[in-house]
Structure 1
Amino acid sequence: MHYHEYSDLIKNNLEWAQEKLEQDSSYFEKLAKGQRPPFLFIGCSDSRMPLNSFTKTEPGELFIHRNVANQVSLTDMNLLAVLEYAVESLEVQHIVVCGHYCCGGVEAAYRGTATGVVENWVNPIRELYIKNRQEIDALPTDKLRLNKLAELNVVAQVKNICNTSVMHRAFKSERYPQVHGWVLDIESGHIKDLELPLNNWHEMGIMP
């Protein structure tokens, strides 16, 4: 891992911009014309989650919201504003909630060690653990238990997305994005595309 001085960030930016211009002299001119990203990506704030690196995407391809432990709170105006703009103005085709293994927020919720504002923030994950404690505790190692909780957390947040007023409006219009749940395995760099209980959510009236 490379630790940079602050000045290195500015220097690296100039080098990156020059490299882009050498590849395509009109790169920034085209970028400045506007955005039409096909994906809304809701991820964790963890510094090991460089979304463009893991997905090999370029500027303009991902509309992004990130917070601690990739939570979708129905009272979070920041997230709801991002979601509304992505769905109704940008007309994204896919919404991805992406968690990751080795997540500090998930571990703090699992162990009950979070304090202060973070304790409040990850409390839904703590409740998720308590609700599924029998299934999670039956796994043989802490690592597997934490991985399972990270996966359950992602599925719960995708369900929360479907329960927003933004998505309810989209469902009624019959023009709505597909939803996906991912977990990034930091140890391998691979993304696990989780199976979502879409049929169950349909039967429950959560989504069409």
Structure 2
Amino acid sequence: MATYQEIFENNRQWIAQKTATNADFFQQLAKDQNPDYLYIGCSDSRVTAEEMMGLGPGEVFVHRNVANLVNNVDLNVMSVLNYAIKHLKVKHIIVCGHYNCGGVKAAMQPKDLGILNPWLRNIRDVYRHHKAELDAITDEEKRYERLVELNVVEQCTNIIKTAAMQVSYQQNGYPEVHGWVFDLHTGHIVDLEIDFKNILQEIKAIYNLTDN
């Protein structure tokens, strides 16, 4: 692992590498961003969005928090979501969880975790909504993995509930919402293939914010 001072040397080497192949790299980088993707992922240090997607600077707008939550009272994620939809006009919104997620595992433990309690309660609510399915899984590791997946689906649904997403999709036909899980053991991205259009249609009775 690099020392603090080595990070600056790594930065100099990175600059040299980029300018060696493209002398205008940083001039181009300084221009306005125009990403097609908003990626909402976990803060886990082992999961990096651009690297695993094979994309470069300017191609992905990224927000990360513990256990990749989309909480409607979290001004941080709501600000990112609204900016990405209304100003960057992203075409795809991806919620990406990962197996072996510490936040999800912590939420499965019946213990007081202090300041983490209100944050993890969102995941515990996911467990409560899907308790019958999860309790039927006898293998604890498989139950844990399934909760990771269900948490992603619920966070995707939370995005679909927002006015910004609904209005943009009605007017423009985008963005679409996707749910992924990154498998740390294999490096593969697992597409949960959520039925975005069906979820959008089903929630309209309660969460329709488009005046139509």
User: Match for residue 4 of structure 1?
Assistant: 2
Structure 2: tracts of 5 or more residues without a match: none
Residue 95 of structure 1 aligns to a residue whose secondary structure is strand
1:1-208 correspondence runs (5 A): 3-113=1-111, 115-198=113-196, 199-205=198-204
Q: Shift of the alpha carbon at 1:46?
A: 0.5
Distance in 1 (alpha carbons) for counterparts of 2:202 and 2:71: 23
| Stretches (4+) displaced over 3 A | none
Structure 1: tracts of 5 or more residues without a match: none
Q: Shift of the alpha carbon at 1:52?
A: 1.6
Which amino acid in structure 2 is aligned with residue 151 of structure 1? E
Distance in 1 (alpha carbons) for counterparts of 2:42 and 2:89: 23
Question: What is the CA deviation profile of residues 23-72 of structure 1, one whole-angstrom value per residue up to 9, with x for unaligned ones?
Answer: 11111111111110110000000001111221111110110111000000
Distance in 1 (alpha carbons) for counterparts of 2:96 and 2:144: 15
TM-score, length-scaled by structure 2: 0.92
Which amino acid in structure 2 is aligned with residue 16 of structure 1? W
TM-score, length-scaled by structure 1: 0.93
Distance in 1 (alpha carbons) for counterparts of 2:110 and 2:60: 34
Distance in 2 (alpha carbons) for counterparts of 1:166 and 1:140: 40
Residue 183 of structure 1 aligns to a residue whose secondary structure is strand
Contact 2:43 2:67 in 1 (8 A): yes
Contact 2:39 2:96 in 1 (8 A): yes
Q: Shift of the alpha carbon at 1:124?
A: 1.4
